[in-house]
Structure 1
């Protein structure tokens, strides 16, 4: 996979690409990540990439020309990349979208600054507009880092155990169940006995029920679309969980 990031601050990505899972994936040649300053693509005589909005208003807008030319420079003839605009008006980012993007050959992410973008960038350049949450950041760099991290870890071989990505929270549709490690007793706090029982079927059922419990308490909205079985519904009712969503249970 090729990930290109268009930003005015490429130095921000140095720590991310030289650490942890992303660094390992780059060294294994599973992904090639390049952060490119798009200012040199400006044809403005002073190298400006922003200008005042037509009609007046506060702030400056990123101009269309530098970004159109920068994206054209990064595109390869044989690949049709996903061109992603990081923007609060974009669709909310989800694990499902991360899994979709992980199947692409090339991602180009545009990190904005200032007040916003020339609308022609949205309408004629990008394929996706993505928001990582309902809050405002200084620029799109943090969002691009989040998307890159979530996508790269899904690439086969990026994690020490590929099954880890499959069982993570949101990948299954539920929040992940509790985890414990040694020692079995710590300051009077014991690991649930079922986890040391050696009965794998019971352990898996316990884990699933704990995922249901945690999701019902912390993110009941996820259960609105999760395909609950009759056994799941019986468990939730027995535990008095998620009573506000009786139509789903």
Structure 2
């Protein structure tokens, strides 16, 4: 079972996303345990202070090292990986999600305010992760994104785990009999277009090749369409 601990100043933000859909089922199956912790519980003054003004001056407040250290002392185990959600961190990718899905204990620190004391980054965490080149008001939403992407990859969570092999950004191995690309190779691209019934809606028709049952030609078509889509929307993936 994977355990996920999240340190945040706003624990109520997590009640909706983690109580629905796949993440809820993963917890009910006993495959994942998610605990949300209020960082203020580790503050020692009567005002529950967890932030202060930056040395040297500047705008905003900085998350203090002391309450974070106390929280991690209580939560960290030998197999724990501590991750800070920070706009300056490593950009989150599907490959990173697959990597984290193999861990048994993840602790996420959701930063807030202007930033965190640098000593948190240098001495208390293992990794910094960013979900994109933009700034949010805190690390809560990024934590939700990362946890969702990781939990769905934990063994047993999805009814058909092999489906994740064919999603956007997921590298494929040649020669897999169940591959929707047949003998064709496709790596690090967006997912190919997909259709379902009805065959014709308002004159918008499903491509005939998908209806013919020639899996070799369907595989070729899917590779070509996936490459077209990737070149148009994410050409950086092909560099």
Unpaired segments ≥5 residues, structure 2: 172-187
Q: Which residue of 2 aligns with 1:21?
A: 22
Q: Deviations over 1:128-151 (max 9, x none)?
A: 011111111111000000000000
Structure 2 CA distance for aligned equivalents of residues 61 and 189 of structure 1: 54
* Offset at residue 43 of structure 1 (A): 2.0
Structure 1 CA distance for aligned equivalents of residues 41 and 190 of structure 2: 44
Q: Which residue of 1 aligns with 2:121?
A: 122
Give yes or no for the alignment of 1:199 onto 2:214.
Answer: yes
Task: Summarize the alignment of residues 156-171 of structure 1 with structure 2, pairs less than 5 Å apart.
Answer: 156-171=155-170
Task: Summarize the alignment of residues 1-249 of structure 1 with structure 2, pairs less than 5 Å apart.
Answer: 1-76=2-77, 79-172=78-171, 173-224=188-239
The TM-score, its normalising length taken from structure 2, stands at 0.90
Structure 1 CA distance for aligned equivalents of residues 130 and 45 of structure 2: 30
The TM-score, its normalising length taken from structure 1, stands at 0.86
Q: Deviations over 1:61-86 (max 9, x none)?
A: 1110100111111123xx32111111
Structure 2 CA distance for aligned equivalents of residues 153 and 205 of structure 1: 28
Structure 2 CA distance for aligned equivalents of residues 47 and 221 of structure 1: 45
Give the secondary structure class of the aligned counterpart of 1:48.
coil
* Offset at residue 44 of structure 1 (A): 2.9
Structure 2 CA distance for aligned equivalents of residues 195 and 51 of structure 1: 60
Structure 2 CA distance for aligned equivalents of residues 91 and 145 of structure 1: 16
Give the secondary structure class of the aligned counterpart of 1:179.
coil
Structure 1 CA distance for aligned equivalents of residues 12 and 30 of structure 2: 21
Structure 1 CA distance for aligned equivalents of residues 160 and 205 of structure 2: 27
Q: Deviations over 1:97-139 (max 9, x none)?
A: 1111111111100011111111100000000011111111111
